[in-house]
Amino acid sequence: MSSRRPLLRAIFDAAVAAAHPDVVLPAFLPAAPKGRIICLAAGKGAAAMAVAAERHYLDTLGFDAAKLTGIATTRHGHGVPTRCVKVIEAGHPMPDEAGLKAADDTLQLAATAEADDLMLVLISGGGSANWVAPANGVSFAQKQQLTRALLRSGAPIGEMNVVRKHLSRIKGGRLARTGQKAEIVTLAISDVPHDDPSAIASGPTVPDPTTLADARAIVAKYRLEVDPAIARALEDAANESCKPGDPAFARASFELIARPASSLEAAVAAVKAAGYDVLDLGADLEGEAREVAADHAKLAREARA
């Protein structure tokens, strides 16, 4: 097996390169604004995305570093050195106090945005856990308890994020609402099946098609035991997420810059180049990891038979 390790590493590296911010981000970055660039990033790739953005604006375009600011919140162990954007390492998949403070600081910075500013939002997988801002009346401990219950339930990420969007001050379009005076450009690396913008990092800057009723239905579907404060919040109309037509999105745009299918295609190409046949199961598989792994093992055994 050791002789195959270099090949396996090459396949992995090809998949990562297809979605690496250094490769995919620069082509999508918008023109420099008259005012500031406020870079707000969240997810496992947040710090790397911030570095790529800094390199583009500061080095390639010669943008004034004094006018570039921001916060990149990433998973513990995923931070990298930056020049202007502050990096905060926070919990994933369970949110922690660092993510709580980072989300609050992010909202405060977004609230300072003016008409000549560019609010550049860079999101990747893990953003939902990294940016945790409980809705009014919900404590951080209660939000953590709900996250544990959702993780144990086996609910797919899309359903988990429906619930989280309706218990948040930053998800479900609310970050856009906070910074709506500025031009808002969101660039996203998808980690969700079907690449739904409203599901990636729980859609902080895009309209949300789901409702409080949907969130309550998911809680009931998985028979989640939630704190009474959570139940009350899911009944409170004030916690409805931002819908299409909301003024928050008047100057907002969203671009998907990398998706799981692109990484899968790169991996498949590397495997075929090495002379192997490929059984491509697609990029939209969902389910309990242990069950999916067992299905994969069964397919591998059948292929060898």
For residue range 177-186, what is the model confidence (pLDDT) as tens digits?
A: 999 999 999 9
Cβ atoms of 186 and 123 closer than 8 Å? yes
**How confident is the model at residue 257, as a pLDDT?**
97
Q: Please compute Rg for the chain using Cα positions.
A: 20
Q: Where is average pLDDT lowest: 42-46, 194-198, 217-221?
A: 194-198
Whether 2 has a pLDDT exceeding 60, the answer reads no
Residue 92 pLDDT greater than 50, yes or no: yes
Whether the predicted pLDDT of 238 surpasses 80: yes
Higher pLDDT pick, 99 / 293: 99
| Three-state SS letters, 31-42 | CCCCCCEEEEEE
Return mean pLDDT, the chain: 93
pLDDT per position as a tens digit, 17-63:
999 999 999 999 999 999 999 999 999 999 999 999 999 999 999 99
pLDDT in tens, 245-286: 999 999 999 999 999 999 999 999 998 998 888 888 877 777
Q: Residue 1 pLDDT > 60, yes or no?
A: no
pLDDT at 303: 72
What percent of the chain stands above pLDDT 90? 82
- Greatest Cα pair distance in the chain: 64
CA distance 256 to 197: 8
Query: Can you tell me the mean pLDDT for 149-170?
Result: 92
Long-range contacts of 225-230 (CB under 8 A, 24+ apart): 225/149, 226/145, 226/146, 226/149, 227/142, 227/145, 227/146, 229/137, 229/138, 229/139, 229/142, 230/138, 230/142, 230/146, 230/167
- SS percent in the chain: helix, strand, coil, step 5: 50, 15, 40
Which run of H or of E encompasses 174? Answer: helix 174-178
pLDDT at 13 over 90: yes
- Determine the average pLDDT of the residues in 117-121: 98
Q: Is the pLDDT of residue 154 over 90?
A: no
Residues β-bridged to residue 38: 69, 119
Is there a contact between 65 and 53 (Cβ–Cβ < 8 Å)? no
Ordered structural domains, the chain, with CATH: 1-19+262-305 (no CATH), 24-261 (3.40.50.10180)
d(CA 194, CA 287): 14
Pick from 120, 103, 124, 99: which is nearest to 43 by CA? 124
